[in-house]
């Protein structure tokens, strides 16, 4: 009887993990569509897809999940490119706070979010703020063992994958 319960538990865990994996594939597909719209210059279509995706991600996974920092970063980039700067700072702050809550203050993915935020501020023209976030990312990476290896590897040996937001971040 005990063996039956254990096997039933593992079977149900397998079914749940398959359902979650299928849901993540749907989210990743939606991210690719948003990225394609952004790359094509269709910012309103990208923003519309992003809002739909964010609502479904929050409904399925809750407010604190690995997709949120990347979604906030995308929203900030789209708003910057489309010239809608109202609330820009709060969106960037939400990306940082979400990443810190999910990955911790010493996580490599948190440092990656800080680098993305620095990139956004650089595009915005706020070079001082961009440099501050880059320095903050460097500090986070130097406190983390795998981050230290990342810093030692140099720019040619670093992976382009961010790891915290699906198939990659907007250019």
- 70/60 Cα distance (integer angstroms): 16
CATH at 129? 1.25.40.10
Q: Is residue 16 part of a domain?
A: no
In this prediction, residue 40 carries a pLDDT of 92
The DSSP result for 67-80, as a single string, is THHHHHHHHHHHHH
User: 10-residue block means of pLDDT along the chain (171 residues)?
Assistant: 43 37 77 91 92 92 91 94 90 95 91 94 94 94 72 49 43 41
Q: How many domains does the chain have?
A: 1
Q: Is residue 2 part of a domain?
A: no
Q: Is residue 54 part of a domain?
A: yes
In this prediction, residue 106 carries a pLDDT of 87
In this prediction, residue 17 carries a pLDDT of 37
- 40/28 Cα distance (integer angstroms): 18
Residue 91 token pair: 């969106």
Full residue range of the structural domain in which residue 121 is found: 27-157
Q: Is residue 162 part of a domain?
A: no
- 48/75 Cα distance (integer angstroms): 10
In this prediction, residue 150 carries a pLDDT of 59
- 14/112 Cα distance (integer angstroms): 31
Q: Is residue 119 part of a domain?
A: yes
Q: Is residue 22 part of a domain?
A: no
């Amino acid at each position: 009887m005990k063996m039956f319960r254990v096997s039933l538990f593992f079977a149900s865990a397998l079914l749940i993990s398959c359902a979650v994996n299928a849901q993540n594939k749907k989210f990743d597909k939606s991210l690719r569509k948003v990225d394609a719209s952004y790359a094509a210059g269709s910012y309103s279509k990208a923003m519309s897809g992003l809002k739909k995706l964010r609502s479904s991600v929050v409904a399925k996974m809750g407010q604190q999940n690995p997709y949120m920092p990347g979604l906030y970063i995308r929203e900030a980039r789209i708003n910057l490119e489309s010239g809608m700067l109202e609330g820009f700072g709060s969106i960037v702050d939400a990306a940082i706070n979400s990443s810190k809550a999910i990955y911790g203050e010493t996580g490599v993915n948190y440092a990656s979010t800080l680098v993305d935020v620095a990139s956004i501020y650089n595009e915005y023209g706020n070079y001082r703020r961009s440099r501050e976030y880059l320095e903050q990312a460097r500090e986070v990476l130097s406190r983390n063992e795998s981050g230290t290896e990342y810093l030692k590897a140099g720019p040619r040996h670093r992976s382009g994958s961010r790891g915290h937001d699906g198939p990659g971040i907007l250019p």
